[in-house]
Amino acid sequence: MKRNMRILDIDMDYFLKEIPIMISGNSTVRIADDDYLVWSKDEVIDFFENRLGLSKEIKIKEKIVTHHNEALYHWRKLVQEYRLSVPFEVVHIDSHADLGLGYPSWVFILDSLLSVPVEERIKIENYGDIFEKYYEPSIGDYLLFALAFRWISKLVYVCNPTDMGNDYVWMILKDGIESNDKIQLAYNKEMKAVEIASNTEKYYATAYREPEVNFEIVRRVEDVSYNGDFDYIIFYVSPNYTLAAADFIIDIMREYIMEE
């Protein structure tokens, strides 16, 4: 059986030895070089080649962007041009899950976005005409939108090795059960998403359920094991979450890719 297409979704802040937190998504200031340590060049190359299986001889199509939410527009373009088949797998290598924790958009997605046909959900530019109140994808919730678009069949979250990787909204898990290996968004026209915490079983018992998505968290570098079988790579600089001293990683990345 032919596997689904697979995207390597990698944020430069993964290669910091401490996780930047409490930083505004609107900030345009790089974090201070003195505040964080970056992996060495040799460590980054070892990860690319021996953990991800990337090769300088067999380059993969790739796009380097500034912020996470740019991915949605790029993926949509690839889908519309029949270069990316949905649903696809995402290997998300990042210091943050980007699944909506700390963002109000998860409520908008469960209460409103899931109520419209899938073909309308992807028309981000039309949200103002469809919904009275809405949120557009941002750097901390873009993967949650991709799930609502039904683009993702499997999500592997390779979290920063200094973290537990539990920075996501548990309401997106199947039946609202924490420590679940399935994501399943659910829409209940009779109840609001904010009621899930107090009426969990009732909410999911009467909700319309989206397709299940396999969900895996990889916490140790030693457990990252791929043979380079990615169809696309998208690499995020995330300047407000990275320091200038890490920019050498961008140059290393370019050695393994063919930029779109």
Amino acid at 155: L
pLDDT at 1: 59
- The pLDDT tens digits of the residues spanning 150-207 come to 999 999 999 999 999 999 999 999 999 877 799 999 999 999 999 999 999 999 999 9
Q: What is the DSSP letter of 47?
A: I
CA distances to 6, 63, 125 from 45, in Å: 21, 19, 39
Residue 207 near residue 61, CB atoms below 8 Å: no
Amino acid at 99: L
d(CA 17, CA 38): 6
Q: Which residues of the chain have pLDDT under 50?
A: none
Residue 187 near residue 110, CB atoms below 8 Å: yes
**pTM, entire model:** 0.95
Domain ranges of the chain: 6-259
Rg (CA), the chain: 18
H/E element, 55: none
Among 135, 152, 160, smallest CA distance to 71 is for 152
pLDDT at 20: 81
pLDDT at 222: 97
